Amino acid sequence: MSAADWTHQEQSVAKHAFETGKQRSIEALIVILREQSELLDTPESIWKFHDFLSSERFQYEGRSEFDTANILFTLADMIKQNLINYDDLEGLEKTKLSKIKAMAMF
């Protein structure tokens, strides 16, 4: 979907939901990191912690840019991860919401 397929209001709604999801992902990650850091007691646990954090960074950076061409996929993924909910998407046209709901099922 190109930027031309989005009204100004829809772009605003999608951008706000996207930013909300990013912020919630960081908040959830901080909780997990605090919990996991308390379990560090061996070199292996440290490297496992490092690998986990690297993977999370890769995922976060992969969704760090708002892109209307891929935003439906990104929002569906955020729905699946419980980072946003459908109330956060209020204001999007029904077709876009239907696509997001369908993609979030898989």
* Over residues 17-23, mean pLDDT: 96
For position 1, what pLDDT does the model report?
Answer: 73
* Over residues 25-54, mean pLDDT: 96
DSSP 105: T
Task: Give tens-digit pLDDT for 48-102.
Answer: 999 999 999 998 888 788 998 899 999 999 999 999 999 999 999 999 999 999 9
pLDDT surpassing 80 at residue 3: no
For position 62, what pLDDT does the model report?
Answer: 81
Residues 96/17, Cβ–Cβ less than 8 Å: no
Query: What are the residue ranges spanned by the domains of the chain?
Result: 3-104
Burial of 52 (0-12, 13-18, 19+ CB in 10 A): middle
**Residue with structure tokens 């070199």?**
43
For position 12, what pLDDT does the model report?
Answer: 96
β partners of residue 90: 92
